[in-house]
Amino acid sequence: MAVAQGAPRRGALVSFKIPRGRAASLSLYVARRILWLIPVLFFVITITFVLMHFAPGSPWDREGKQLSAAVIRNLNAKYGLNEPFLAQYVRYLVNVAHFDFGLSFQYEDQPVSSLILKSWPPTAVIGLLAFVMIVIFGIGIGVVAALRQNTWVDYAVVGFSTIGASTPAFVLGIILIIIFSVTLYRITGGNFSLPTGGFALDQHLILPVVTLATLPIAFIARLTRASTLEVLRQDYIRTAWAKGLRERLVVTKHVLKNSLIPVVSALGPTFAVLITGSVIVESVFAIPGIGRAFVVAVGSRDYPMILATTILFSVVVALANLVVDLLYTVIDPRVRLG
Amino acid sequence: MAAATAVSLEQIDWENPEQIGLWQDAWQRFRRNPIAVAGLIFVCLLLLDALVAPLLVSLHLIADPLKQNAANSYAGFSLQHPFGTDYLGRDLLSRVMFGARISLTIGLTVQVIYLLIGGTIGLTAGYSGGRVDNLLMRFVDIWYAFPDLLFLLVVVSIFQPSLFVIFGAIGIIGWVDLARLIRGQVLSLKEKEFVEGARAAGSGPTKIILRHLLPNTLGPIIVSLTFGIPRAIFLEATLSYLGVGIPPPTPSWGIMIQDGNQAIFAYPHQVLVPALALAITMLSFSFIGDGLRDAIDPRMRR
Amino acid sequence: MDDSVARFRWLRVPALLTVVGLLVAACGNSAPTTSNLASDQSLRVNNGVEPNSLDPGQEQYDYEGAIGASISEALLKIKPDLSDAAPATASSYNVSSDGLTWTFHIRSNAKWSDGKPVTGADFVYAWQRILDPRLAAPYADPFFDGSIKGADNYANLDPVKDAAKIPDFLNGLGLSAPDASTFVVKLQAPAPYFKWIASLWMSAPVRKDVVEQYGSDKWATSPTSLITNGQFKVSEMVSKDHITLVPNTNYWGGAPTLTKIVNYEISDDNQAYAKYLNGELDIVNVPLANTDLVKNDPKLSKEIKFVPQLTLFWMDFNTRKAPFNNPKARLAFSKAVDRDSLAKNVGKGRWSAADFFIPKGMNGYRPDLGKSQEFDAAAAKTMLTQAVGDPSKITIDFLIRNSTANKQIGEFLADQLQTNLGVKVNQVVIDSKTVTTRLRKHDYQLYVGGWGADYPDDQDWFDIWMTGSGNVFGGYSNPDYDALVKKADIEPDAKKRQDYYDQAQKILIDDAGGGFLYQRNYMMLAKPYVQGLTTTAQDFSTVGDWFWGKVSIAQH
């Protein structure tokens, strides 16, 4: 995931030029960005809908005993699958506008929106915890490494971030399971180990959160370190040292504010990483969240579920980017919204 | 760009000044980076392994990765099977070695696709500017709005997975970064004098793009491609792990990890062996990419 | 009187009492006591997957039956040894002499979980509902529309276009309740196996007023509206996590010992296994890869429960395409697979090799019929060459569902066929739904199919190989086989019936309609404190889950 510094982020527009006063331009900017969501979503929905529809296989094909032709005909009627493609497409768009995502094909008669709501909490809990960890540890060790450049602390951090950024999440997750569940279990004679999976608000959270957060932490740490090093080289920091100010003061008052600017802008794509990461982590740790629901839905041709989840993910990513961009303008007064 | 080597004034041959090209300069800097070199060595070994593995099998130096021996499944480390055997008694060492072929093939081939698609779009957008640029970049943004793994899952499970489909899908999704990069490079180079000179001399746009712009943007492109390789390898392994990867009996690291996962309690080495192979490979490419970037762009030095 | 003794006189009674008390306590421990039961009578098992529906009319999968069979009770219930269907909600039944009318007498004390009595009308309503095309009930065909009088028109009714005709269709079915405690079924043809259909958990009664109050789609989704008539009822449903059952206090058969059953929905076998090891589950499936580990473990090996399942798996040949249109070629393929290696090495001993069709545990189990498909690599190759020529010129498209278990079997089989016959096998591993689509379109050559008994009667098995069946995709058709099975299905004399089925099975095996491979067994671990576990060959997700009413938890 090599995002070159300064490159535009997912979902962001390339350039806007808004000439007026700051507050007005801010709200205009927000409005435009939200409006921009609509064509993006439209595109996403259309592509997914078309793909799903022309995919081979129907949702009623089962493993084992087959449904008879009569039953299948009845099911198709029930879900409106007999109608021509365009009719289904238009109907779907209209429903989505009313936040009605239809009934799931796999869990018959359950509305997709309620299924998503049920799967939402584990993903949100793990994602938020991971995000907090990313912010605290990612930035923290990046700054420390920069301040202690070329010491063992620095090497340790750089080493960790290189390895962390290159290890696939599922490999890391599996290795952690082997160490902390299987081996720990054997060593302690069955008395202590971390769970191999499942979701609960206790030690079940440790391994999944660590796995999910590692790659973004590695990346943010490197970015923070590089950016902090840049700032540390600046003249005004040298002046601060020369003036004899204490390190902690210098860091918090001058360095951080400036070095965090590119880091904040990188937090946006971090959301996209958290989402794709959640798919993997939830599969490795068998967590009943949205990521796994998506994988299962893809496998069982649960069209409504796939469509709804895809839309949800795109919206989350786009909104996250919007928030980050706004934060960016707040932090860096030099930035004009463009 | 001349290299800053220490020479005394007498040594300088003023008639024929020593010139070191960009690439030699970069190579010298790269060579001095031990981690990058380690990565390069590993990748070279991997390449060697990928090319030579079938030969080794025919010479009976390593086992046939497809040869089953169900009675000897899940064996541990032994002289005959240095990494043990899998659930059907197949030798893990040779399976890992053959898995490298798949990973490298995908990693490298996909970069070609990236270059073709991303390169074309980036070059066109950067050079044309104006409306065309705007349109293309809007298209890129929309394409970018989709989380890549999810799109990949959807595409690959619809069009039944084969090597070709997986290449295509990974390639179609990941070219965006390269396109942006190239466009940025082209934009900054467009106004430089040598381009104006070429235009004044009457060269058409294609010629300008290919002969003048492209070679100068090569540095960052190569770095981007180098980082793209582990990304592609990772995506293929993830697809295989999630069950929509390359069909059997071809061994791929992702499939081996998925298979080994079943036995994680009883025989952890089933999973560890391919997992480590995957991690070290990705790591090596990242080291190389870092090293290249540092070597090519002096500003990015540590 | 001595003053010293008199002083202690007041101690006499308490001392006596103490001695008596001690004696009683000492004896009490050696006397047989009813309370070695744990104070917490809850059982925790793993169902694996969240049920799509607990509505009897909508259920079809094992992980639904695992709960459905405990909360809903049909007219009859299988006996643990599967020899017969015993009375359940119906206390008795009689069949008319022509075999066409079955009269069930419903217990007077059979009650729903809300206290109302179970009536014949509840059964009429439930069975009509299953045959209502608008419900699209998965089990309507062939169990109900193939047996009940007037139901054979089910396949022709379109739920939307023929909506007006449906009420007449339903009222015209051979279902009636002449009074509250009687339920009468008229059949299309005599069917000795009908008692098994009456014991299917999907044939359980359904309350019309509940369905109408809460809606056909919704009444089974929440514990308050899920009114059922079984020994247990649902008290809690937490999506993707667990479903809890508690005893139905209104059940006619008295209270079970268990006070709670928690069905978890842990899809990963290794995770469930880990939970068993640290005491969070009481019964669990042993993941295939861990089989040897468990067998060699001194403690765990004593907790193993090995139960045959009424399942059988075979190589499904597409008889419409060469080379499988040639019976000798099919037979050659069947002889080319080392089933013992498959069962012992790939299946780790959990599978039983089978070169015949009816599995162990069924009345029609005849292992000796399988001689013609016995493994013999050399003979197989010769037979194939004689039948269709040079094997190395043959390429087979082998369709495999992409789950790990299916892939493992597929890889083994492909290797066996390539090594032993010299043919080339293309493993086409794709997702489950697409596999089924291609099967329906007959776009394949080889596939591993299987069957699991719906009920322990041969009829459920033999019908699938008849010409035109929708459950076997290969298009196998043999008129002799069809004739024998048709005769057997309606034959009232048990011995003659079995004889017809045996003959049919021999034809099937010799003709290699399928290349029969193996039967599955359950290998599970159950904590030693789980007592009264009654296993059957028709268990759903957990061994003993047909008869939770007999289970109790000992102190531990």
The secondary structure of A15-28, three-state, reads CCCCCCCHHHHHHH
| Whether pLDDT at A12 is above 50 | no
Find chain C residues with C-beta within 8 A of A69's C-beta. Answer: 155, 470
DSSP readout, B144-175?
HTS-HHHHHHHHHHHS---HHHHHHHHHHHHT
Task: Kindly tell me the sign of the dihedral angle through the C-alpha atoms of C350, C354, C359, C365.
Answer: negative
**What mean pLDDT, rounded, does chain A reach?**
77
| Whether pLDDT at B301 is above 50 | no
CB of A280 closer than 8 Å to CB of A113? no
Burial of B141 (0-12, 13-18, 19+ CB in 10 A): buried
What percent of chain A shows pLDDT beyond 90? 8
Tell me what pLDDT residue B194 has: 64
Mutate to test the interface with C, among A62, A68, A290 (most CBs of C within 10 A): A68
Q: Which of B150, B261, B278 sits opposite A168 (nearest CB)?
A: B278
Residue C494: what are its φ and ψ, rounded to 5°? -60, -40
DSSP readout, A85-102?
HHHHHHHHHHHHHTT---
Q: Name residue, tokens 């217990």.
A: C107
Considering only residues C285 and A163, tell me which one the structure prediction assigns the higher pLDDT.
Answer: C285
Q: Is C457 helix (H, G, I), strand (E, B) or coil?
A: coil
Tokens of A161: 């971030």
Smallest CA–CA distance, residue A185 to chain C, in Å, is 10
Burial of B183 (0-12, 13-18, 19+ CB in 10 A): buried
Tell me what pLDDT residue A191 has: 65
Amino acid making up residue B194: F
| Whether pLDDT at B29 is above 70 | yes
Q: Which of B147, B272, B283 sits opposite A272 (nearest CB)?
A: B147
**Cβ distance of A286 and C268 shorter than 8 Å:** yes
For residue C519, give Cα distances in angstroms to A245, B104, C79, C356, C362.
79, 41, 22, 10, 12
Give the DSSP H/E element, type plus range, for residue C242.
strand C242-247
Burial of C344 (0-12, 13-18, 19+ CB in 10 A): middle
Q: Interface pTM (ipTM) of the complex?
A: 0.77
Find chain B residues with C-beta within 8 A of C269's C-beta. Answer: 262
> How far does chain B reach from its first CA to its final CA, in angstroms?
21
| Whether pLDDT at B172 is above 90 | no
| Whether pLDDT at A18 is above 50 | no
Find chain C residues with C-beta within 8 A of B262's C-beta. Answer: 269-270, 287-289, 404
Residue C173: what are its φ and ψ, rounded to 5°? -75, 155
Tokens of C408: 């493992």
**What mean pLDDT, rounded, does chain B reach?**
80
Over residues A234-247, mean pLDDT: 76
Tokens of B156: 């690959």
Over residues B4-8, mean pLDDT: 55
CA C257, CA C260: separation in Å to the nearest integer?
9
Burial of C387 (0-12, 13-18, 19+ CB in 10 A): middle
Tell me what pLDDT residue B97 has: 92
Give the DSSP H/E element, type plus range, for residue A72.
helix A69-79
Considering only residues C418 and A334, tell me which one the structure prediction assigns the higher pLDDT.
Answer: C418
Confidence band of B209 (pLDDT split at 50, 70, 90): low
CA C427, CA A331: separation in Å to the nearest integer?
57
CA B258, CA B270: separation in Å to the nearest integer?
10
Q: Which residues of chain C have pLDDT under 50?
A: 1-4, 6, 21, 24-33
Tell me what pLDDT residue A324 has: 78
| Whether pLDDT at B299 is above 70 | no
Give the range among A34-38, A263-267, B95-99, C406-410 with minimum mean pLDDT. A34-38
Q: Do the strands C42-46 and C260-264 form a parallel or antiparallel pair, or are they unpaired?
A: parallel
Q: Do the strands C101-106 and C182-186 form a parallel or antiparallel pair, or are they unpaired?
A: antiparallel
Find chain C residues with C-beta within 8 A of A193's C-beta. Answer: 274, 278
Burial of C452 (0-12, 13-18, 19+ CB in 10 A): middle
Q: Do the strands C42-46 and C90-95 form a parallel or antiparallel pair, or are they unpaired?
A: unpaired
**Cβ distance of B249 and C414 shorter than 8 Å:** yes
Give the DSSP H/E element, type plus range, for residue C7.
helix C3-7
Smallest CA–CA distance, residue A286 to chain C, in Å, is 7
Tokens of C487: 């005769």
CB of B75 closer than 8 Å to CB of B68? no
Give the range among B141-145, B254-258, C344-348 with minimum mean pLDDT. B141-145
Q: Do the strands C514-526 and C283-285 form a parallel or antiparallel pair, or are they unpaired?
A: antiparallel
Residue C13: what are its φ and ψ, rounded to 5°? -65, -50
Tell me what pLDDT residue C1 has: 41
Tell me what pLDDT residue B212 has: 62
Amino acid making up residue C352: S
CB of C428 closer than 8 Å to CB of C448? no
CB of C191 closer than 8 Å to CB of C130? no
Q: Do the strands C395-401 and C424-430 form a parallel or antiparallel pair, or are they unpaired?
A: parallel
Find chain C residues with C-beta within 8 A of B248's C-beta. Answer: 400, 407, 410-411, 427, 429
Tell me what pLDDT residue A180 has: 84
Tell me what pLDDT residue A228 has: 85
Query: CB-side exposure of C332: number of CA atoms within 13 Å?
Result: 26
Mutate to test the interface with A, among B114, B133, B138, B158 (most CBs of A within 10 A): B158
Alpha helices in C269-403 (DSSP H): 269-277, 291-296, 327-335, 339-341, 377-388
Smallest CA–CA distance, residue C203 to chain A, in Å, is 17
Residue C78: what are its φ and ψ, rounded to 5°? -65, 150
Smallest CA–CA distance, residue C522 to chain A, in Å, is 18
Q: Is A57 helix (H, G, I), strand (E, B) or coil?
A: coil
Considering only residues C80 and A40, tell me which one the structure prediction assigns the higher pLDDT.
Answer: C80
Smallest CA–CA distance, residue B161 to chain C, in Å, is 7
Give the range among A52-61, A243-252, B36-45, C90-99 with minimum mean pLDDT. A52-61
CB of C126 closer than 8 Å to CB of C185? no
Beta bridge partners of C284: C525
